[in-house]
């Protein structure tokens, strides 16, 4: 059963053969067939959408499939980036069989039910309770910052099954049925006026034990798989020079000479230099990954990217002497492409980049401890029962 090592040419041949026999008229049918042919995510196992091939071959396949129906990766980003690797690593054979195909084809959208109002940076301190009731689990709690929850079919859920042990030990990981009674999704309006995220209220939501992912009490180690994949996926696209937010600023400077002020020239140039440095750092990281030498530089990318984005969008407001916004009304459309809206929107939205997916403060601690090997702070919250922690 073990796959033979593939070459890029093999991939192109397979895709060509597939395309020859699968006209792309029926979008869902086409995607299902692509999955079944192992041409979805090539590094996944045979039978689960892949061919057990090298991850490096995926771009070859994607290129060969260009122009055919895709699974709208932005729409199902949480499923692709977080739920799938978690299911793959920790799911039972049945779970992987049941969930991965519709996840990949986009038929079933996933969301992530981790953060809570009282558990942001300290995710392991979360309070959402899962109580065993005969064979089922009964979930009660509140989750927040849940993107895609308003059209998600499933959620990956972290809940506390035992409050009487230290916080990391009492957690269990579940697949939450978003259509189950007791699940309420409410839009969460942000300072941009939009409601990109949701609050999710779980009120005695009953889940069968088959929806448990991993062992009881092992939720934290399952969640680490999810989180590692989250961090990799944030700020991850390869961009050409001036491809990100700096592009908008540079164009503004070039195309609106009346806005140029002597006192801001050097600031714009500093931002340009910083953006190019961050871009090259990302490029170097990709080369390391491609060469099979993953370095710790990944953790630098999100931190640097957040600061850069905030600096650039801030400078954009200064340069434009911006006092106007376009529209404060609630927008529930799909997530906008970042550079597409106004400078004010970009500026405000960028405030979140140093909070979401790990605050910059937390990232600095992670770099200090895991990369540089600096000693951790004395902790008082690790050995005590969760129930006893001050909150």
390 contributes a contact to its own copies by CB under 8 A: no
378 contributes a contact to its own copies by CB under 8 A: yes
Among 16, 46, 259, 269, binds its own copies (CB under 8 A): 269
| Window 221 to 250, contacts with other proteins (CB under 8 A) | 250
Closer Cβ to other proteins, 67 or 373, answer by number: 373
263 contributes a contact to its own copies by CB under 8 A: yes
Residues shown for the chain: 391
Task: Give strand pairing partners of 208.
Answer: 136
**C-alpha–C-alpha distance, residues 348 and 171, integer Å:** 35
Q: Of the ranges 7-15, 28-36, 257-265, 341-349, which one interacts with its own copies (CB under 8 A)?
A: 257-265
243 contacts: CB under 8 Å, gap ≥ 6 = 279
Among candidate residues 228, 210, 207, the one with its CA nearest the CA of residue 89: 228
The least distance separating its own copies from the CB of residue 262, rounded to whole angstroms, comes to: 7
The least distance separating other proteins from the CB of residue 309, rounded to whole angstroms, comes to: 13
Total binding residues toward its own copies, as defined by CB under 8 A: 10
Residue 253 binds which of its own copies, other proteins, none (CB < 5-8 A, kind-dependent): other proteins
Closer Cβ to other proteins, 69 or 118, answer by number: 118
Among 203, 322, 335, 339, binds other proteins (CB under 8 A): 322
332 contributes a contact to other proteins by CB under 8 A: no
**C-alpha–C-alpha distance, residues 285 and 292, integer Å:** 11
The least distance separating its own copies from the CB of residue 379, rounded to whole angstroms, comes to: 9
The least distance separating its own copies from the CB of residue 270, rounded to whole angstroms, comes to: 9
293 contributes a contact to its own copies by CB under 8 A: no
**C-alpha–C-alpha distance, residues 349 and 363, integer Å:** 19
270 contributes a contact to other proteins by CB under 8 A: yes
Pattern 338-367, binding to other proteins, x per CB under 8 A? ------x--xx--xx-xxx--xxx-xxx-x
CA 73 centroid distance within chain: 11
CA angle (372 as vertex; 368, 376 as ends), nearest 5:
50
Q: Report the b/e string of 118-153 with b at 16+ CB within 10 A.
A: ebbeebbbbbbbbeeeeeebbbbbbbbbbbbbbebb
Is residue 192 a contact partner of residue 349, using CB atoms and an 8 Å limit? yes
Closer Cβ to other proteins, 74 or 260, answer by number: 260
274 contributes a contact to other proteins by CB under 8 A: yes
Class of residue 229 by CB neighbours under 10 A (exposed 0-12, middle 13-18, buried 19+): middle
Total binding residues toward other proteins, as defined by CB under 8 A: 90
Q: Report the b/e string of 48-62 with b at 16+ CB within 10 A.
A: bbbbbbeeebbebbe
Pattern 120-149, binding to other proteins, x per CB under 8 A? xxx--x------------------xx----
The least distance separating other proteins from the CB of residue 267, rounded to whole angstroms, comes to: 8
User: Would you please indicate which residues are annotated as catalytic (active-site) residues?
Assistant: 230
**C-alpha–C-alpha distance, residues 165 and 175, integer Å:** 23
Concatenated DSSP letters for 277-296? Answer: HHHHHHHHHHHHHHTT---T
Judged by the rule CB under 8 A, the positions of this chain that interact with its own copies are 262-267, 269, 377-378, 380
């Amino acid at each position: 059963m073990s796959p033979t090592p593939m070459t890029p040419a093999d991939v192109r041949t397979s895709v060509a053969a597939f395309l020859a026999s699968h006209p792309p008229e029926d979008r869902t049918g086409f995607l299902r067939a692509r999955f079944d042919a192992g041409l979805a995510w090539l590094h996944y196992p045979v039978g689960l959408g892949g061919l057990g091939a090298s991850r490096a071959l995926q771009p070859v396949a994607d290129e060969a499939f260009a122009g055919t129906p895709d699974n709208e990766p932005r729409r199902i980003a949480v499923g692709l980036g977080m739920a799938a690797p978690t299911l793959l690593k920790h799911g039972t054979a049945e779970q992987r069989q049941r969930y991965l195909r519709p996840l990949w084809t986009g038929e079933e959208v996933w969301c992530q039910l981790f953060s809570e109002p009282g558990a942001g940076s300290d995710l392991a301190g979360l309070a959402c309770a899962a109580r065993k009731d005969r064979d089922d689990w009964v979930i009660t709690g509140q989750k927040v910052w849940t993107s895609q929850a308003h059209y998600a079919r499933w959620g990956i859920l972290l809940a506390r099954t035992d409050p009487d042990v230290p916080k990391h030990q009492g957690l269990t990981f579940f697949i939450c049925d978003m259509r189950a009674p007791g699940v309420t999704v409410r839009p969460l309006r942000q300072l941009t006026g939009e409601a990109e995220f949701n609050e999710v209220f779980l009120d005695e939501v009953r889940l069968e034990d088959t929806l448990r992912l991993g062992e009881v009490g092992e939720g934290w180690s399952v969640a680490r798989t999810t989180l590692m994949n989250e961090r990799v996926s944030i700020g991850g696209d390869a961009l050409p020079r001036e491809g990100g937010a700096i592009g908008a600023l540079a164009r503004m400077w070039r195309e609106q000479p009346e806005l140029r002020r002597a006192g801001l020239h050097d600031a714009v140039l500093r931002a340009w230099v910083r953006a190019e440095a961050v871009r090259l750092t990302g490029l170097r990281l990709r080369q390391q990954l491609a060469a099979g030498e993953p370095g710790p530089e990944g953790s630098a990318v999100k931190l640097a990217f957040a600061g850069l984005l905030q600096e650039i969008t801030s400078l954009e407001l200064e340069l434009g002497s911006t006092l106007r916004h376009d529209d404060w009304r609630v927008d529930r459309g799909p997530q906008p492409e970042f550079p597409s809206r106004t400078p004010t929107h970009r500026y405000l939205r960028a405030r979140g980049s140093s909070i979401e997916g790990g605050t910059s403060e937390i990232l600095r601690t992670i770099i200090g401890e895991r990369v540089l090997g600096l000693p951790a702070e004395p902790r008082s919250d690790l050995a005590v029962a969760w129930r006893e922690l001050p909150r």
